[in-house]
Amino acid sequence: MTRIGIICKKGKAEPIELLKGLLPWLSERGLTVFVESEAAQNLGIQGYDRRQLPALVEMIIVLGGDGTMLSVARLVAERDIPIFGINLGGLGFITEVSRDEALDALDKVIAQDYVIEDRMMLHTRVIRQGQPTAEFTVLNDVVINKGALARIFDIEIFIERRYVTTFKADGLIISTPTGSTGYSLSAGGPILYPTLHCMVITPICSHTLTNRPIVIEDAMLIEARVTPGSKDISLTLDGQLGEALCEGDVVEVRRSEHVTRLLLPAQRDYFQILREKLKWGER
């Protein structure tokens, strides 16, 4: 990989400071670098529209947090381009490499001492009166929830066209294994090993205590129907995209034909990451 794209978290100084040192380091190693427009403007160099980068590069380095990684995952989903994340955000479950480890990790990447981990994505459609009105591909999760002033509402769940149950809850999360350490975990869902082929359905503050998260295989179709009388309901995707839902709308969720390709150090230990990020074993 000799053509490298770089995308930075917007509105933050730290990614730009890191980029200043990273550009000559990459150039010394004979790599051609394409920097997104906003970051390039800060440095007074030529930049490229973020939407152009997937057609120009063989790999993308993300300087930011998991939110930036999620947006880049959607950007390159159809291009099969690996992403290397340097964590400049919070927890960093997807951007696993810290700033201090960045150059050593990139040296290993250049020496081809790395693994590429394919993470499943979700394809989501909103069906209104029998017709699709919106489609999305996401890495983390699909969330159906209520507005700030709405009450508990009912969501009918079907798996493979078979009725499962009606959740009376504040909302519903349908998550990939990658997304299981996000909103789903906060709502009581399980941690799933990120390369598993499955999805987890997690109710948010269910009115019925026996309603628990359900893990199903990724080949299954999930349909969530907003029942009549429900008001002020929204669909949120990866916590970044939104769509208003109407009563009677059906949200279809299935495994996407695309994957997110994460470029990771060969010696990386996922369980060590869990211990560090979730503070396991600390008192």
What residues are annotated to the active site?
66
Helices H / strands E in the chain, number of each: 7, 17
Q: What is the DSSP string of 113-157?
A: -EEEEEEEEEEEEEEETTEEEEEEEESSEEEEEE-TT---EEEEE
8 A C-beta contact, residue 154 and residue 196: no
Secondary structure letter of residue 36 according to DSSP:
B
Task: State both tokens at 128.
Answer: 């209104």
Alpha helices, DSSP H, located in the chain = 13-28, 37-43, 53-56, 66-76, 102-110, 183-186, 270-278
Under DSSP, is residue 254 helix (H, G, I), strand (E, B) or coil? strand
Listed in sequence order, the residues at least 6 apart from 61 whose beta carbon sits closer than 8 Å to its beta carbon are 4, 5, 6, 7, 22, 83, 84, 85, 86, 106
Rounded-to-integer distance, Cα 28 and Cα 283, Å: 45
Rounded-to-integer distance, Cα 225 and Cα 23, Å: 49
How many CB atoms are closer than 10 A to CB 89? Answer: 20
